Chain A
Amino acid sequence: MAYVRARGVRFHVVDLGRDTGRSPVVMLHGLFTGSAASWFFTAAPALARTRRVRLPDWRGHGLTERTPTGYDTTTMADDLAALTADLPPFAIAGHSYGATVAVRFARAHPGRVTALALVDPPFSGVVAEIDPGRCAVPDAARDSVADLLRRTSLVYDLAADPPVTAAELAELAGLPLLAVVGSGSPFRSAADLVGQALPAARRHVLNGGHDLHITARARLTPLLGAFLEESHA
């Protein structure tokens, strides 16, 4: 639990739980209103009963420095590598863009990841259609969202980042993988893409929209816990 200087950026990272025989799980939040708090108040505490849980704040989010650039998945996967260098191989649970970065990280560092849980991953290329003003944004968070939009390259990095493809996902065959999507999410079809690419992947549709970690907390949390156990992660 602390601030970590890595790659010239001051990152905030929260550690919960303790080392056990099981893999740690690194839980990655989504963009804009996401932060370490996204998982801290939802699934992380329950998972921390049996394993170490690490919750980084991405650059520009939570208590991590707001860098002007570097919001593409390649840079953020490199950030993740730096922020997990001290861990043994670990599982990842990623929400939204955190899931996209998780896929890029798992491809770049195949030996480092023991299991991958994708929560409403935005694989269908409609990220630009998400209007932050329409998301469930706590009033207090609006200023930081506005700063991200106005003072960083985030939206340009998002637009320029290549969408995750079935071919890319297929390279992850062999890695235990879970995809959970919201029944009313604009990204619901991501589960179909995962199914095409990885027929062995576990897929679930939960009632809810994009922010399943919050609105479907009571269903998602045990689902993630069971997935990690079954994956022997």
Chain B
Amino acid sequence: MTSENDVLSEVVAMLAEVVGEDFLLEQTVGPDTTFNADLALESIEFVALAEKLQRHYGTRIEFAAFIAGLDLDQIMAMTVGDLTSYIEGRLAASREGAADAAAAPDTADTSAAYA
């Protein structure tokens, strides 16, 4: 199980890989930190972070779909918390999906028994 703190620390660790540990020593990164105004993340660095997130969480997240649903103002104002909330939501949905899939064979067995 991935707790909310775990997602935040994973995102911060990947951010450090993108911008460098030294850079993050000068900043405290929390849910309210904005990528653009606070971290001055270049847009291509944000792409690099997105690639790391996608690689790390795999098909459980769809970063492109997340971005497609936002307008540019929302992207420019995005906070670390906005990103971690999206990831946590997707991870939770993925766990529920896995639970449903695990439950499905029981249903099939039941209908087979009645057939």
Contacts and interface: CB of A to CB of B under 8 A. Distances in A.
Interface string B37-79: 0001111101110110011000000001111100110010000
A49 B67 CA distance: 11
A44 B42 CA distance: 18
A153 B43 CA distance: 25
Contacts of A202: none
Size category of the A interface is: 20 to 34
B43 A138 contact: yes
A41 B47 CA distance: 9
Contacts of A140: 40-42
B68 A49 contact: yes
Contacts of A36: 44, 47
Contacts of A48: 64-65, 68
Contact of B51 (A14, A35, A139): A14
- Chain B interface mostly: helix
A35 B71 contact: no
A138 B44 contact: no
Given A1-B54, A35-B43, A63 B64 contact: no
Residue among B47, B67, B71 with the highest chain A CB neighbour number at 10 A: B47
Contacts of A41: 43, 46, 67, 72, 75
A218 interface: yes
B50 A45 contact: no
Nearest to B36: A138
Contacts of B43: 35, 37-38, 40-41, 138, 141
A163 to B, nearest CB: 29
B54 to A, nearest CB: 7
Interface in A133-151: 138-141
Contacts of A17: 64
A57 to B, nearest CB: 7
Nearest to B66: A45
Contacts of B46: 37, 41
A139 B66 CA distance: 26
Interface in A26-73: 35-38, 40-42, 44-46, 48-49, 53, 57, 62-63
A175 interface: no
Interface of B: 40-44, 46-48, 50-51, 54-55, 64-68, 71-72, 75
Top-7 shortest CB links A-B = A37-B43, A45-B68, A45-B64, A45-B67, A35-B44, A140-B42, A62-B44
18 contacts: A1-B54, A14-B47, A35-B44, A35-B47, A36-B47, A37-B44, A40-B43, A41-B43, A42-B72, A44-B64, A45-B64, A48-B64, A63-B47, A63-B48, A140-B40, A140-B41, A217-B72, A218-B71
